[in-house]
Amino acid sequence: MSQGGPVSPVDGGNAAMKGFQATLAALSQEYEAGLAQRVGLAHGHLRACQAAPGDALPLLELHRGMHTMAGTAGTLGLAQVGERARGIEAELQRLLLIEGRSVQDFDAVALMLESLGLPLD
């Protein structure tokens, strides 16, 4: 049995929570600062999709990136980024099921990606 006993919420528990919140806030700021780079990478994948609409590889890469962004942003408290990325992910999932995709099939994704670069409310 531990000699120190349980940590009371009044002393160590509160300090641990504050430390966790500070770490989460720092990670959120760091992630938000790198968002432009992540969106730029997504635009690169989109250009590859538009150049070869039938090629599933760039579409899968873009889908994976949006899935990761949606989850990470949501975890870090960037709800709007997470929601926008989740919407793009859903549209990409729909496109993955289309045989004979055309460049125009990616128009909605292009507009949705632009929304990631806009200021958040």
| CATH number, domain containing residue 71 | 1.20.120
| Calpha distance 29→78 (Å, rounded) | 9
**Residue 31 maps to a domain:** yes
- Overall residue count recorded for the chain in this entry: 121
Please give the model's pTM, rounded to 2 decimal places: 0.80
Q: Is residue 4 part of a domain?
A: no
Report yes or no on 3 lying in a domain: no
Alpha carbon distance 2, 58 (integer Å): 54
Q: What is the pLDDT of residue 8?
A: 53
* H-type alpha helices, the chain: 14-33, 35-51, 56-75, 79-96, 107-116
| Per-residue pLDDT tens digits for 8-50 | 555 567 888 888 888 888 988 998 888 989 999 999 999 999 9
Written as one string, the DSSP assignment of 96-121 is HT-TT--GGGGHHHHHHHHHHTSPP-
Pairwise CA distance, residues 105 & 92, whole Å: 10
Asked whether residue 93 is assigned to any structural domain, the reply reads yes
Within a domain: 1: no
What are the φ/ψ torsions at residue 99 (nearest 5 degrees)?
A: -90, 145
Domain assignment present for 67: yes
Number of domains present in the structure of the chain? 1
* Residue span of the structural domain in which 90 resides: 11-116
Could you report the per-residue pLDDT of 65-104, keeping only the tens digit for each?
Answer: 999 999 999 999 999 999 999 999 999 999 999 999 999 9
